[in-house]
Chains A and B, each alone.
Chain A
Amino acid sequence: MLKYLIKRVLWMIPMLIGISLISFFIMHLAPGDITSNEAAFNPKASEESRQKLREMYNLDKPVIVQYGLWLKRMVTLDFGKSFASHQKPVFWQTADNDGNVTKGLIQEALPITLMINLLGLAITLILAIPLGIIAARKYLGWQDRSITLFNFIGFSIPGFWLSLLLMYWLGVVNNWFPISGLHSLNYESLDSWGKLKDSLSHLFLPVVIPSITGLAGITLFVKNGMLDVLQQDYITTARAKGLNKHKVVYTHALRNALLPLITIIGLSIPGLIGGSVIAETIFAIPGMGKLFYDAVLMRDFPVVMGILTIGSALTLVGNLLADVAYAWADPRVRRGVARD
C-alpha cells in the first residue's frame, strides 16, 4: 500500500511538468500577448511603449527561455504576478513596504467557486441518491422512466438559456431571487443573519441550475450501482435468509452501490475548482472560470499558468485521494492494491 502511494505521488511530478509544458506551449501558440488588448488599439498608444511592456514581462525572449524562467520561479512556489491587473499576485496575497496587502487573484476566486460547486454537488447528491434508488427498485417501471426522462431533459437544456429564463422568471417577473452578483449592495450593513440570508438568496440560482443539469449523470450512476449490487450473490443470499427487504436494500446494497461515487466525486474535482465560465459570466460571479477565461483572452500568461498548475495539481491529488479512499472503503480493492 505504502509502495503504491509513493509510486503514485512520484508519478505526479513528471505529470505536472508535462501538463505545465503542454499548457505553456499551447498558450504561446495562440497569437498575441498582453499588449494586443483592446486598449492597445488606440492611435495614441505607441508601439514603443508596447515593446517596453514586452521587455518588462520577458515576452521578447524565446518561449523555451520564458518557460525556464517560469519553472525556476515555480521551484520556490512563486506563481508570479498578473500582467493584466497591475501585478496583482496570481496566487496568494503580498504586502508592500507600507503594509498595504494586495490579495491574490486565485485566493479571491477559488473560495467562491468552491463554495458554489460544493453546494451544487451536495444538492445533486441529495437528489440523485434517492432518485437513483427509486429508479433501480422500480427498474423499467414508469417511475424509472419518468426519472430518466426528467434527468435527461435537465441535462439537455443549454445551461445559459435555462439560466436566463429562470433569472427572468424568478428575478424580474417575480421578485423572489436576486438576478446576479454575490451580495446585495447593502451587504456590509446587514447583521449576520441578514448576511447569511442575503448570500443564500444570491447563491440559489447559480447553485441550483448546474445541479439540475448534473443530476442525470449521478442518478444513473447510483441506479446502475444499485442494480449491480442487487443481483449479486450475497444480496440474493441475504434475501434468501429471509432478511427484511428494505434492510437488504438500505444496509447492504446501498453501501456497496455508493462506493463508486467516491471515484465520481474524485473525478469531478477539476470541475469543482475550475468553475464554469458560462455560469459565472451570466450570474456575474467572480470565480475561477471567469478569471481563467479573462486571463486567456487578455493573454495574461502568469494567471493562466497559475490556474492550470494549481488546478491540475489539485486534480491529481484529488484522484489519488479518491483511489485511496476507495481502497480504504472496499477491502477487496485494498488487498488488490497491496499486492500491486
Chain B
Amino acid sequence: MWLLACGESPNSHQSAASIDNINYPIESGGALINAMTGEPSGLISMIAGESASSAISSNIFNSLLKYDKNLELEGDLVTNWQISADQKTIIFKLKPNLKWADNQPLTSADVLFTWQAVTDEKTASPYASDFQLVKKAETPDPLTFSVTYNQAYAPALDSWASLQILPKHLLQGKNLHTTAFVRNPVGSHYYKLDSWAHGENLKLSRNANSVLGQAKIDKLITRIIPDNSAQFLELMADNIDLMGLDPIKYSRIIPAHPELQQKLALYKELGNSYTYMGFNLKHKPFDDIRVRHAINYAIDKQEIIDGVYLGLGINIASPYKPGTRWSNPELTPYPYNPAKAKALLKQAGFVDTDGDGIVEQDGKPFAFEIVTNQNKEREKSAVLIQRRLKDVGIDVKIRAIEWASFISRFIKTGDFDVVVLGWGLGLDPDQYNIWHSSQQAPGQFNFIGYNNPTIDKLLEQGRLELNPDKRMKIYHEFARVLLEDSPIVYLSAGYGLTAINKRVKGIDDPAPPAGIGHNSHDWYIPTPLRRNEISAN
C-alpha cells in the first residue's frame, strides 16, 4: 500500500516559491521535527490514553486492524479477518514472518497476551470494557487469533483497530504501570524510540524490522513546547517542521505574509470532533422540547462558524463525520430563525410580561448559565450564543472552568443547566455510552440525562448488527430521531488546520477523509532541503 502512494505528485500547492515547482525525486532519509504541548505520560496507550501518548505510540505499535485513507477498516497486522455466521466469533489471520524491533517473532501469542493485559483487573485500563465482552480468546496456531463474544458486538472491529499490540516476551509478568517499558518501548511499526529527554524531546528512528515496510523519513523528532505562541515562533524560525494552527493563523496571518507562505504549506482536513451545546434534561424548562427547539432556532450556527472558525468549519446535523458512511446525508441543521424561536417560547409559556427584554414563565425570568471548560473555541461559541439568545429574551451567563474542576463539580454531579462541550466524531457509529438512558450514573457519559426509548432501542440494535449496510440504516435513523428531539444543539465541526514546512513532500492535498497523516510514512524530505545539523547527527 505504501508503494502505491509513491507515484503521486509531491505537492499540488500553488505558490510563487521556487521549491514548489521543482519535482524532487522520492528518496529516503532526513529528519522531521514536530512539536507538541504536552509530554506523554508513557507509551503504553492502553493505560496512558492521552493524545500526546498515542501520537507517539501510534508510530511504534501496530494494531490488528487500521482505517485506510477513506476510513474503511483494513488489515494492519492481519491479512484478513472472518466473522462467523452467528456473528459472535471473529477470526484474525496474522501476516507471516512478523517481527518485533528486537528481532523476536510477533505471533498470535502476543495478541492474546495484549488482550489478557487490557482486561486484567490490575491493569485498570480505561478501555477495558470493549474487551471484557470477549468470552473466549484463542490462538489455534501462531498466525491465528480468534475471539468469541457472548452475543454479536458490532463495535468489536473498531476496538481491535484501537488496541496496540504489545510484545509478550518483554512484558510477561510485569506490572504495566511500573515497568520501564513504558518509557522504553519495543514495537513493530515504522519507528522505534531512540531517546526520550524528559520535558525536552522524543527521538524516533526507523525500525529496520517494521512489519509494513520502510518509512521514507529517517528520524521523527518531537519537541515538547508547552506554549503555542512559542511553537509558532519556532515554526517561523524553521526549527520545527509542522504545527497545528488556529483559524486566525491559517486564514489571516500566513496568507498575508509572503515570507511565511514561501516556507509553509497549509493543509485543511475535517477534524475529529464537534462542538455542541447540551441541555440538562432533568432541569426545567429543558425537559420541554419546544424550549429546546426554540433555542436551536435562536442560535445562528453559521455565525459561530464565521466568528469562531473564520469559516473553517462546517455545520453538522448528526454526530458523525460528514461524508462517511454513518453520516445521514438527508439531515440538515436547524436554520437560524429567531421569529420561530420566539413563537415556540411563547407556546411554552415564556412571555416578556414586565418589558425588561427577558421572557418569563409564571413570573420567573428565563435565565441560565452556560458552563464550559477553558477552551478558546468553546468560550467564543458561548459568547456568540449568549448574544443570540438575548435577542429572543433569554438571559445567559457564561462560566469557563479548569478541566478537572469542571468534570468533578459540574458534569459528575449533574449540577449544570447548559454545557458547551465537544464529542469526538467516532469512526465506529456506536454511541451507546453517550445517549443510552442506562448510562446516566455519576461519571458516565450520558450526563445530560437523555432518556428516549426509541434511541435506546436503535442503539441496542446497532451494537448487534455487523452487516455494514444494515448497520448504516440503523444509525441514519438514530441520527434523525436525535436531531428531531434536540437534546443537544450541534454547533459546528471545525477543520483541523496544519502548517507543514515545504521541505516535506509527498503529502496528500486535498486531505482524504482520514486526514493528511494517513500516509506520513510516505512523506519524504529531498536531500537539498534537509537541515544540516540533524543529518550530521
A281, B178: Cβ atoms under 8 Å?
A: no
- Known: A40-B126, A44-B126, A49-B128. Is A180-B230 also a contact (CB below 8 A)? yes
How many residue pairs link A and B with beta carbons under 8 A? The number is 172
Name the distance in Å between B115's Cβ and chain A's nearest Cβ. 16
> Is B443 part of the binding interface, using a Cβ–Cβ cutoff of 8 Å?
yes
Residue of B nearest to A100 (CB): B180
> Is B143 part of the binding interface, using a Cβ–Cβ cutoff of 8 Å?
no
A31, B225: Cβ atoms under 8 Å?
A: no
B226, A297: Cβ atoms under 8 Å?
A: no
Tell me which of B90-98, B351-359, B469-477, B529-537 binds A: B529-537
> Is A299 part of the binding interface, using a Cβ–Cβ cutoff of 8 Å?
yes
User: In the complex, which of the residues B124, B237, B408 contacts A56, with contact meaning CB atoms closer than 8 Å?
Assistant: B124
Residue of B nearest to A291 (CB): B199
User: In the complex, which of the residues B180, B201, B423, B533 contacts A102, with contact meaning CB atoms closer than 8 Å?
Assistant: B180
Name the distance in Å between A267's Cβ and chain B's nearest Cβ. 28
Task: Please report which residues of chain B, range 234-266, place their CB below 8 angstroms from some CB of chain A when the two chains form the complex.
Answer: 234, 236-237, 239
Task: Please report which residues of chain A, range 58-79, place their CB below 8 angstroms from some CB of chain B when the two chains form the complex.
Answer: none
Residue of A nearest to B239 (CB): A179
B129, A43: Cβ atoms under 8 Å?
A: no
Name the distance in Å between B84's Cβ and chain A's nearest Cβ. 25
Residue of B nearest to A45 (CB): B126
A residues in contact with B537, CB < 8 Å = 185-186, 188-189
A50, B223: Cβ atoms under 8 Å?
A: no
User: In the complex, which of the residues B49, B177, B237, B423 contacts A171, with contact meaning CB atoms closer than 8 Å?
Assistant: B237
B121, A52: Cβ atoms under 8 Å?
A: yes
CA distance A167 to B236 in the complex (A): 11
B residues in contact with A36, CB < 8 Å = 403-404, 407-408, 412
Name the distance in Å between B409's Cβ and chain A's nearest Cβ. 5
How big is the B interface, by class?
35 or more
CA distance A163 to B199 in the complex (A): 20
> Is A223 part of the binding interface, using a Cβ–Cβ cutoff of 8 Å?
no
- Known: A50-B443, A86-B48, A184-B533. Is A284-B126 also a contact (CB below 8 A)? no
A38, B533: Cβ atoms under 8 Å?
A: no
B404, A297: Cβ atoms under 8 Å?
A: yes
A residues in contact with B431, CB < 8 Å = 43
- Known: A43-B434, A86-B42. Is A282-B230 also a contact (CB below 8 A)? yes
Residue of A nearest to B234 (CB): A179
> Is A283 part of the binding interface, using a Cβ–Cβ cutoff of 8 Å?
yes
> Is A96 part of the binding interface, using a Cβ–Cβ cutoff of 8 Å?
yes
Name the distance in Å between A294's Cβ and chain B's nearest Cβ. 8
> Is B452 part of the binding interface, using a Cβ–Cβ cutoff of 8 Å?
no
Name the distance in Å between A250's Cβ and chain B's nearest Cβ. 44
A30, B224: Cβ atoms under 8 Å?
A: no
Task: Please report which residues of chain B, range 504-537, place their CB below 8 angstroms from some CB of chain A when the two chains form the complex.
Answer: 533-534, 536-537
B residues in contact with A178, CB < 8 Å = 239
> Is B141 part of the binding interface, using a Cβ–Cβ cutoff of 8 Å?
no
B residues in contact with A85, CB < 8 Å = 41-42
Residue of B nearest to A282 (CB): B227
- Known: A45-B126, A168-B233. Is A87-B223 also a contact (CB below 8 A)? no
User: In the complex, which of the residues A30, A31, A179, A182 contacts B233, with contact meaning CB atoms closer than 8 Å?
Assistant: A179
- Known: A31-B404, A43-B431. Is A290-B199 also a contact (CB below 8 A)? yes
CA distance A181 to B197 in the complex (A): 11
- Known: A36-B404, A284-B226. Is A49-B129 also a contact (CB below 8 A)? yes
> Is B444 part of the binding interface, using a Cβ–Cβ cutoff of 8 Å?
yes
Residue in A45, A282, A283 whose Cβ sees the most chain B Cβ within 10 Å: A45
Residue in B229, B404, B433 whose Cβ sees the most chain A Cβ within 10 Å: B404
B residues in contact with A44, CB < 8 Å = 126-127, 129-130, 162, 433
CA distance A71 to B178 in the complex (A): 23
B124, A52: Cβ atoms under 8 Å?
A: yes
A residues in contact with B409, CB < 8 Å = 31-32
CA distance A31 to B410 in the complex (A): 10
Q: Mark A264-302, 1 if CB is under 8 A from B, else 0.
A: 000000000000000001111110001000000111000
A residues in contact with B443, CB < 8 Å = 47, 50-51
A residues in contact with B48, CB < 8 Å = 39, 86
CA distance A51 to B124 in the complex (A): 9
> Is B441 part of the binding interface, using a Cβ–Cβ cutoff of 8 Å?
yes
> Is B69 part of the binding interface, using a Cβ–Cβ cutoff of 8 Å?
no
User: In the complex, which of the residues A45, A52, A84 contacts B127, with contact meaning CB atoms closer than 8 Å?
Assistant: A45
CA distance A179 to B426 in the complex (A): 38
Task: Please report which residues of chain A, range 236-264, place their CB below 8 angstroms from some CB of chain B when the two chains form the complex.
Answer: none
B50, A87: Cβ atoms under 8 Å?
A: no
> Is B182 part of the binding interface, using a Cβ–Cβ cutoff of 8 Å?
yes
Q: Mark B407-422, 1 if CB is under 8 A from A, else 0.
A: 1110010000000000
> Is A46 part of the binding interface, using a Cβ–Cβ cutoff of 8 Å?
yes
A172, B233: Cβ atoms under 8 Å?
A: yes
> Is B47 part of the binding interface, using a Cβ–Cβ cutoff of 8 Å?
yes
CA distance A185 to B220 in the complex (A): 12
A residues in contact with B426, CB < 8 Å = 43
A residues in contact with B199, CB < 8 Å = 108-109, 284-286, 290
A residues in contact with B200, CB < 8 Å = 181-183, 284, 286
A-B contact pairs, 8 of them (CB 8 A): A37-B404, A52-B124, A85-B42, A86-B42, A86-B177, A87-B178, A96-B179, A164-B230
20 new A-B contacts at CB < 8 Å, known A53-B124, A84-B41: A30-B405, A32-B407, A38-B50, A38-B403, A42-B49, A43-B445, A44-B129, A46-B128, A47-B444, A86-B177, A96-B178, A179-B239, A185-B33, A185-B223, A186-B534, A282-B230, A284-B199, A286-B199, A290-B199, A297-B403
B residues near A, CB below 8 A?
A: 33, 41-42, 44, 47-51, 121, 124-130, 162, 177-180, 182-184, 197-201, 203, 221, 223-227, 229-230, 233-234, 236-237, 239, 402-405, 407-409, 412, 423-424, 426, 431, 433-434, 441-445, 533-534, 536-537
A residues near B, CB below 8 A?
A: 30-33, 36-53, 56, 81, 84-87, 96, 98, 100, 102-103, 108-109, 164, 167-168, 171-172, 175, 178-186, 188-189, 281-286, 290, 297-299
User: Which 8 A-B pairs give the minimum distances between C-beta atoms?
Assistant: A286-B199, A32-B404, A45-B126, A100-B180, A47-B443, A39-B49, A31-B408, A32-B408
